[in-house]
Amino acid sequence: MATYPRLLPNSENPAAPSAWLESDQLEFAYWVPNISGGLVVTTIPMDTDWSPEANIKYAQDAEANGFVTALAQTRWFASYGADHQHEAFVISSAILAKTKTLELITAVHPGLWHPAIVAKMQASLDVISGGRTSINVVSGWFKGEFTALGLPWLDHSERYRRSEEFIRVMKGMWTEDEFTFYGDFYQINAAPMLPKPLHRIVVFQGGNSTDAQKMAGRASDCLFMNGNSNAGFKAIMSGTISAAIASGRDPSELQFGANGFCIVRPTMKAATETLRDIISNADVEAVKGFGEAVKNAGRSSSDGTGMWANSSFEDLVQYNDGFKTGLIGTPESVADRIMELKELGMKVILCGFLHYNTELAEFGKTVIPLVREKEEALRKKKARAA
């Protein structure tokens, strides 16, 4: 295995991070619906549009109502019904041009891109947007996207090793005057890159497996996890922190985010009825096809603990296990659940919605203010105890 150059710790990086990253608040992100078909694999009508114009409106609604960032999805071919896709960097650029404060998280597949090229694209986007970008490195589960493009499909552990090198190259290009890297997947020979990003770009990654935890502990800034129970989240977070310590990295540099599909209604009964309608009207063939693809990917990890390895049919109707997180209920109950996640150590909640045209803004108006009230009450309680 290759020996890598030392990653610059945050304490030695002169670039300032995003303000939200260093606040004591839990923060809110949302999935950009830049692919067709919405965020659930169901046949019930969804008041959600994947067009650029709609996504600009959603972003403006989000930044006006308490969201700090948004994740643009990367998808190349149809899956779970998503037969149209806007590329993540392109849609992010369009949204950033029409917003003022919202950050955009571009998503990228190592294996389809060269990391030095992506580092340059991301730095340029950061400069153009006034320092409002992050990036999400996804190691990939959709074999067909690679094989159809004539690219090799690596086994699970090798995909994560490649992703770690990808992150190390990007961070090196962003921080060094000239960067040299001799890895097993990428080689860089005294490469310069200007301009540098305006701020310290947060590198997110997805994954639940042991391979993902080790990679995040060694190289990433924030681990986005699929929906899960408290016990499931705790196990993944503990493994990631242990990996950071084992690598000699300060674990305080790590943050965690959770995916959650949000169904907020005036009553719990109305919320659970909406969930039942989504699942009972699932596109069965699309969910089964998606399930076979992702479960094979998850089970191919060395210990069989990858994303979706234990997901039920109902879980897979929201394709990142978003129902499991439990953001289904009244504004008050959902805010209480979010505070539980904060107490677990979660920094970011990544939200998805059935009806983006109304529910994204409404969540910001009803749930986020309740969370802020509860956070303030918790601060005062801790201050009194001290």
Residue 295's pLDDT is: 58
Q: 327 or 307, which is more confident?
A: 327
Residue 363's pLDDT is: 98
Q: Are strands 187-192 and 203-206 parallel, antiparallel or unpaired?
A: unpaired
Q: How many helices (H) and strands (E) does the chain have?
A: 12, 12
Dump pLDDT digits (tens) for 217-265: 999 999 999 999 999 999 999 999 999 999 999 999 999 999 999 999 9
Residue 205's pLDDT is: 96
Q: Is residue 313 part of a domain?
A: yes
Report the distance separating Cα 46 and Cα 18, nearest Å. Answer: 33
Q: Please, is 49 exposed, middle or buried when counting C-beta atoms within 10 Å of its C-beta (0-12, 13-18, 19+)?
A: middle
Residues 6 or more apart from 309 whose CB is under 8 A from it?
209, 295, 298, 299, 301
Q: Is residue 187 part of a domain?
A: yes
Dump pLDDT digits (tens) for 125-159: 999 999 999 999 998 878 888 889 998 889 989 99
Report the distance separating Cα 217 and Cα 60, nearest Å. Answer: 34
For residue 204, pLDDT beyond 60: yes
Dump pLDDT digits (tens) for 313-339: 787 888 788 999 999 999 999 999 999
Q: Which two tokens stand for residue 245?
A: 């310590």
Q: Is residue 4 part of a domain?
A: no
Q: Is residue 5 part of a domain?
A: no
Q: Is residue 339 part of a domain?
A: yes
The total of structural domains in the chain comes to: 1
- Overall size of the chain counted in residues: 386
For residue 303, pLDDT beyond 70: no
Q: Which of 314, 292, 35 is nearest to 141 (CA)?
A: 292
Q: Which of 320, 316, 305, 323 is nearest to 229 (CA)?
A: 323
Q: Tell me, what CATH number does 255's domain have?
A: 3.20.20.30
CB 134 within 8 A of CB 201: yes
- Quickly count: other Cβ atoms within 10 Å of residue 288's Cβ: 14
Q: Is residue 204 part of a domain?
A: yes
Residue 284's pLDDT is: 80
For residue 77, pLDDT beyond 80: no
Q: Indicate if the alpha-carbon torsion angle 172, 173, 179, 180 is positive or negative.
A: positive
318 pairs with which residues across the strands? Answer: 40
Q: Name the region of 150 (left: φ>0; alpha: ψ -120 to 50; beta: rest).
A: left
Q: Which two tokens stand for residue 63?
A: 């930044």
Q: Are strands 187-192 and 27-32 parallel, antiparallel or unpaired?
A: unpaired
Q: Is residue 61 part of a domain?
A: yes
Report the distance separating Cα 187 and Cα 191, nearest Å. Answer: 10
- Mean pLDDT, to the nearest integer, of 164-189? 97
**Residue 163 confidence class, pLDDT cut points 50, 70, 90:** very high
Match 């690598």 to its residue by tokens. 247
- Quickly count: other Cβ atoms within 10 Å of residue 383's Cβ: 8
Q: What letter would DSSP give residue 1?
A: -
For residue 87, pLDDT beyond 60: yes
Residues 6 or more apart from 343 whose CB is under 8 A from it?
none
Report the distance separating Cα 355 and Cα 238, nearest Å. Answer: 35
Q: Which of 40, 38, 37, 20 is nearest to 29 (CA)?
A: 20
Domain that holds residue 72: 11-381
Residue 76's pLDDT is: 80
The continuous run of DSSP H or E covering 120 comes out as: helix 115-128
Residue 283's pLDDT is: 82
Residue 82's pLDDT is: 75
